[in-house]
Structure formats: C-alpha cells, structure tokens
Structure 1
Amino acid sequence: MKFRHSCGVLKERALEVAPDLRGWISDIIMSEATADAVVVHKPDHSTTLTVRFAPGEKPQLMVRGPRTRALYYRGAPGPSCLQVRLRPGTGKALFGRSMRDLVDEVVPLSDVWHSAGQMADLVDDPGTFVEALVAGLPDRDADGDLVMRAMDMLSTSDIKTSAKRLHVSERHLRNVFVDGVGMPPKRFARIARVRAVIEHGATRPLSELAQEAGFYDHSHMTAEFRAIMGVAPTVFFGGRASPNVRCVGPFKSVELTAGEAVT
C-alpha cells in the first residue's frame, strides 16, 4: 500500500476562497483518490463541510466536527470530495449550535442545519454552493471575536495569560472557546503545534520545527506527536503508519483490532 502523510495518494485541487468569505472559510479542496492508499485524516481544530461524490450515488452532504486524533484507513479510487474547511470558531454561528457536540463526529448536514435540503441542489457548482452556505449570515458576534483573538494568542501564550490580555476570566474564555471551537484552549494549542510539524516535517529537521512550533524540546515534540497522531514522527513521515479504523459507511468508521491494524 502507498502512503503519503498529506492525505494518502490523492489528486487535490485548491479552489479560491472569495475575499468576502475568508472570514468564514479557511480552505476549499476538491480531492480524489487515484490509487489504493493508507489515507490519513489529520487532527483538526476546524469543522469541515464535506460533499462526497461516488459513481452511481447521490451526493452526500456531511459535517465533520473537530478531530482530536489522527485516523488512518485504507482508501481506494472512486469517490471524490469537496471539502469546505471552516475557520475555527465560525461553526457555531453557521449552524446555530455548540461545536462541542460535533467533536470526533461525522454527521449528515441535515442533522445540524435546517437549510441542508436547499444546499443539495447546488453541489454541482462549488462556487455557488459555498456562497449559499454563508449567505445572509451576520458578522461574528462578541463571542466569535473573542475566540478569534484567543486563537492568535494561544500559539505563544497559555490560557491564563491569554485571558488576562483579553480582560476576561479564564473560566469565561474556556467556556466561550469550547462552545465556538469544540475543544478547550489547551487541546486546541496542542493540535495546532502538531499540525505545524506535519506541515513541514517532510522537508525540514524535526528539532528545528519543534522549537518553532513551541515545544520545550525535541523529546516533548515527539511525545505530543505520538499522543495525537498515534505514531512517532519517524514512522509517520516514513510512510509506515498502518490503518487504525475501517470505514463502514460515509458517516461511520470502526476501530480496528490489533490484528486487523497490521494487515
């Protein structure tokens, strides 16, 4: 089986995010598997709207909540996906519910959004689909702005320091952050640091990245990476990670047993 840490053996095409949508959307990607592969879904503090296209099937609209750990599974050619990755902290305003309910979950869009039925008619035109997704939404409220400002600080500051700089209590910041992002600030920061290592780990020294990402040292980075990614950095970047889940449908996966995981 082939493996690439970027997301298996995929053909990916980035779509431009219109300037007026950049406050809501981080990335828009069209992806399609081109060979049998071990595909990795990286841990992510963002919520992602996914439209899955499969031959002979109707497009399926899903919401993938923030993911706290990496998932590895065997992929195969066929289905393609449009992935709209929301900026952390915007999901609550878009769906009208706390993001804590969606952590490590994949659910039909219709379960969380009343306009899902209307969106299904627009999936063949990604540009129109994305514009309709955020049409008529108000600007972010005070809580949304607080989350955005806190995210900028958490890469270099702890929750206590960030709350003090934002002139709010730690408890208030933590509660608003969990509602808006889905996870506590500390977990958010841990995932952000590991994602920074993943972004450049294949081409730059890990010891150098460890310092830049905010780890105490290389050993600290390795321990955090293993805890969140499930394997050591050398295994991950060497393409030797084994599947740890098996897809049993577009909305569900099951964990593999130890024997299944090494086959």
Structure 2
Amino acid sequence: MEAGEYVVRTAHPALRRYVRRLQGYREYSARPLRRLQAPVGSCALILGFGEPLRLYGPAGPAAPRSFLAGMQTSAVHTEFRGHQHGLQVDLTPLGVFVLLGRPTAELTGAVPALDELDDTELAALPERLATDPDWPRRFARVEAFLAARLLADPARTPDPEVAWAWRTLVRRAGGVGIAELAAGTGWSRRHLLDRFRAQVGLAPKTAARVLRFERAAGLVVGGGPFGTPGPRQDLASVAAECGYADQAHLTREFRALAGVTPTAYRCAFVQDPALPTP
C-alpha cells in the first residue's frame, strides 16, 4: 500500500534567484520504495520531520532525516519504508553558497546531514517546522528563514561575474562554451574556472553538461524543469534538440549521469508519478 500528499510552492519573487521551488510531502509505503535521483542544476535541502531516508550514492550509504545535497555528477538512490514527512527546498548552487557562507565546492558529490554543517540555526529548522500545523505556515517559516540568510547580508552575495555565467548556462541549458563565458565576464578562463567552481561547486563545462542532461531528461519523460508541461519526444529528437551528436551520445550521457538508459529513466517516472519532473 502506498499513499502520498505533495504540495508545491513557487518561491517568493525576492528569493527566486536562489530558490527554484519548495515542496511539502507526506508519504507512506508498506514496501521499500527506492527512487533514482539524477543530477540536476540545483541542490536539495531536505527538512525532514518523519523517519530517516536511506541514501545510496558516491558518498556512500547514509540514513539522515534532514540533509543538504550538494551538486552531483552521478545518480543518488533514495529508499524508505513506512512514513516520510518533510519539506524540500531546491536551491540553486549560488543559493547554497550564500546560505552557508562558504564555498559550494566543499559539498560537491556530498550529502551531509544538517547537524554536520556546523550551522545550529539550520539544523534546528526541521524541528520547528514539525510543530507548525499546516503547509502554509511551514512555507512561511522556511521563506522567512531563507530571506534572512539569502537577502539580508550584501557581503555574502556571489561574484556578479559568476552569477552572470551561471544564469547564462541555465538560460541556454548548458549550450555555451567557456570561452564565451570568460569573454562575457571579462575574466581569464582560469580565473573564471576557479571562482565559478568555488561558488557553484562544478567547473563551467561540467555544470553545462549537467544542465544539458537536465533538459534532456525533462523531454524524455514528457516535461520541462520542475514539472513544466511539454510533449514527450522520441530520443533522436531529444538528442538533436539538446545538442548531442546523436542518439547514441544521448544514451551514453544518461548512463554516465543517471546510471540507466533514457528508456529506463522514462519508465521509472511512469511507474512512480510522485516523482517531480527533473
């Protein structure tokens, strides 16, 4: 037996440069429910007030209740049985940089529990959310916390050049080269690489690869980023639209980043409609 409640909220306009979306969830599964979480252009902050969620990925197995997933370049699997209850915040990597006030690169490929981040206010947030009686008040509490962290201190903002380069990569779904990004910032390629990797967590070329994959994955399952509607396309068309050399190139990228073929990835979403579109 499986059941679930999912409530999606678009972030307040002032937060949208750092927060892609918020989602409240309550789930139950009598059997172990395992999900594939492929790389995307965001970092998941899980504020859990239910049972721990088991994670299997490059950083090894773990079972945190609340955690922050850094930028990833390979798949992470999640698994639970019983009850799951919490709130997920999808942060841009620059949002993580500002939230924690330290290089995002330190979290790349990692999924630390909140109590491992030396941030007592952030670690205490899930317990406070658990006392709120409904989703509107939980969303309001989280947005107030994020606004205080992300907007209150101008000294914690990322480099304008890095922010511009990241926005350009997102807008063009990874379809821009490092030379063009460096020219747009006025920096050398080496300086852009160093500053971008520190604040985003990935080198520009790797970030472009993840963003291109995210777009392709959305088209494969029949939608765009975070649930925006769109037609499901055949794989050859997806490859051409997203800038892959051919369908074989698309398949190699899915195997490298998600660990499965595009067809298997599509089937996973068909079988589990609770999964958000990448």
TM over 0.5: yes
Letter in 1 for 2:15: L
- Indicate if the aligned counterparts of 2:68 and 2:111 stay in contact, CA closer than 8 A: yes
Q: How many residues align?
A: 232
Gaps of 5+ in 1: 3-8, 241-263
Tell me how far apart the structure 1 counterparts of residues 100 and 51 of structure 2 sit (CA, whole Å): 29
Q: Corresponding residue for 1:190?
A: 209
- Indicate if the aligned counterparts of 2:51 and 2:65 stay in contact, CA closer than 8 A: no
Tell me how far apart the structure 2 counterparts of residues 229 and 72 of structure 1 sit (CA, whole Å): 10
Tell me how far apart the structure 2 counterparts of residues 108 and 199 of structure 1 sit (CA, whole Å): 28
Match of 2:139 among 126, 131, 139: 126
Q: How does 1:109-148 map to 2 (within 5 A)?
A: 109-112=114-117, 113-116=119-122, 119-120=125-126, 122-123=128-129, 124=132, 125-135=138-148, 137-139=152-154, 143-148=158-163
Tell me how far apart the structure 1 counterparts of residues 108 and 41 of structure 2 sit (CA, whole Å): 9
Give the SS at the match of 1:106. Answer: coil
Relative distance call for 1:143 and 1:79 in structure 2 (3 A) is closer
Match of 2:263 among 215, 234, 245: 234
Q: How does 1:80-119 map to 2 (within 5 A)?
A: 80-112=85-117, 113-116=119-122, 119=125
Tell me how far apart the structure 2 counterparts of residues 214 and 50 of structure 1 sit (CA, whole Å): 33
Tell me how far apart the structure 1 counterparts of residues 5 and 75 of structure 2 sit (CA, whole Å): 20
- Indicate if the aligned counterparts of 1:119 and 1:133 stay in contact, CA closer than 8 A: no
TM-score scaled to structure 2, two decimals?
A: 0.73
Tell me how far apart the structure 2 counterparts of residues 152 and 132 of structure 1 sit (CA, whole Å): 24
Relative distance call for 1:55 and 1:193 in structure 2 (3 A) is closer
Letter in 2 for 1:206: L
Q: Does 1:165 align with 2:184?
A: yes
Match of 1:25 among 19, 29, 39: 19
Q: Corresponding residue for 1:39?
A: 35
1:216 Cα deviation (Å)?
2.2
1:46 Cα deviation (Å)?
2.0
TM-score scaled to structure 1, two decimals?
A: 0.77
1:103 Cα deviation (Å)?
1.4
Give the SS at the match of 2:94. Answer: coil
Give the SS at the match of 2:45. Answer: strand
1:139 Cα deviation (Å)?
4.2
1:153 Cα deviation (Å)?
3.2
Relative distance call for 1:172 and 1:141 in structure 2 (3 A) is farther
1:120 Cα deviation (Å)?
4.6
Tell me how far apart the structure 1 counterparts of residues 78 and 122 of structure 2 sit (CA, whole Å): 28
- Judge which range, 151-160 or 90-99, deviates more: 151-160
Give deviations 1:122-166, integer Å, cap 9, x for gaps: 323232123113315334867443222212333221112211122
1:219 Cα deviation (Å)?
1.8
Cα root mean square deviation, aligned: 2.8
- Indicate if the aligned counterparts of 1:197 and 1:206 stay in contact, CA closer than 8 A: no
Tell me how far apart the structure 1 counterparts of residues 66 and 267 of structure 2 sit (CA, whole Å): 33
Gaps of 5+ in 2: 53-63, 133-137, 222-231, 270-278
1:213 Cα deviation (Å)?
1.8
Give the SS at the match of 2:202. Answer: coil
Tell me how far apart the structure 2 counterparts of residues 207 and 161 of structure 1 sit (CA, whole Å): 28
Give the SS at the match of 1:81. Answer: strand
Letter in 2 for 1:70: A
- Indicate if the aligned counterparts of 1:46 and 1:181 stay in contact, CA closer than 8 A: no
Tell me how far apart the structure 2 counterparts of residues 47 and 40 of structure 1 sit (CA, whole Å): 15
Give the SS at the match of 1:78. Answer: strand
1:32 Cα deviation (Å)?
3.4
Letter in 1 for 2:93: P
1:30 Cα deviation (Å)?
1.6
- Indicate if the aligned counterparts of 1:33 and 1:75 stay in contact, CA closer than 8 A: no
